[in-house]
Structures are given as structure tokens and as C-alpha cells.
Amino acid sequence: QVHLVESGGGLVKPGGSLRLSCAASGFTLSDYYMSWIRQTPGKGLEWVSHISRGGATTFYADSVKGRFTISRDNAKNSLYLQMNSLRVEDTAVYYCARDQSYSWFDPWGQGTLVTVSS
């Protein structure tokens, strides 16, 4: 069964850092592109970042470019999101999702809550 489980969320002060992890099981991670997507009550669903199967190519939303870094360790079946210089507006539930070759997302993890507040 294909399964994604995020971890690493929590409360952090503005300007702080956090690293999210996503553990994949039930499929070979190296066969798939992956993305991070976040959700807030105010802005809804917002795609954050994408990484190619080998990790050589990455893309970011303008809102996080230069502050967030996506990476992966296929040997550990894991995806990561390093978030630096966090802002209040980065507060959201962060989901990892399998990216079906530059298209739709299936499946999604259960999400991890990141709260940026002083």
C-alpha cells in the first residue's frame, strides 16, 4: 500500500528554521517526482516545491524561493523540506505528495502543521 508520512512540524518563531521529512513506503521513491504542498484557511492549497526523481532538478513557488530547499534521499525513501527565514505567512499544514510526472498529485500524506508565531 502506497503511504506517505510527514513529520517535523511544530511551533517556530519568525526568522527561525524547521526541517520537514516525508517517509515513503509501498513504492520505489526513485521512480517518482515529488512535491510539497501547503494549505491555509485563508489561501487554500498552494504548491510549494517540486523535485525530480534523482534530485537534480527543483522548482519553487515564488513565495518560498531562496528560503526553502527541497531534497530527497532515495536510499532512505525520504523527502525533505528545509525551511529557513520563516514568516508568519508560512503557517500552514504541509503535505508531501507523489507528483505523477509533472501533473497531478497522488497520493498525499496526512500533513504536518507548521506554526510561525512569536
Q: Binder to other proteins among 9, 60, 82, 84 (CB under 8 A)? A: 60
Range 23-52, binding other proteins (CB under 8 A) = 35, 44-47, 50
Q: Please, what is the minimum distance in Å from the beta carbon of residue 68 to other proteins?
A: 13
Taking the complex as a whole, how short is the minimal distance between the CB of residue 118 and other proteins, in angstroms? Answer: 27
Closest approach, Cβ 83 to other proteins, in A, equals 17
Among residues 45 and 88, whose Cβ is nearest to other proteins? 45
Residue type for position 110: Q
- Identify which range of 13-21, 69-77, 81-89, 107-115 contacts other proteins by CB under 8 A: 107-115
In the chain, the DSSP E strands lie at 3-7, 10-12, 18-25, 33-40, 44-51, 58-60, 68-73, 78-83, 92-99, 105-108, 112-116
Give the cell for residue 6.
510527514
Q: What is the largest CA-CA distance in the chain?
A: 40
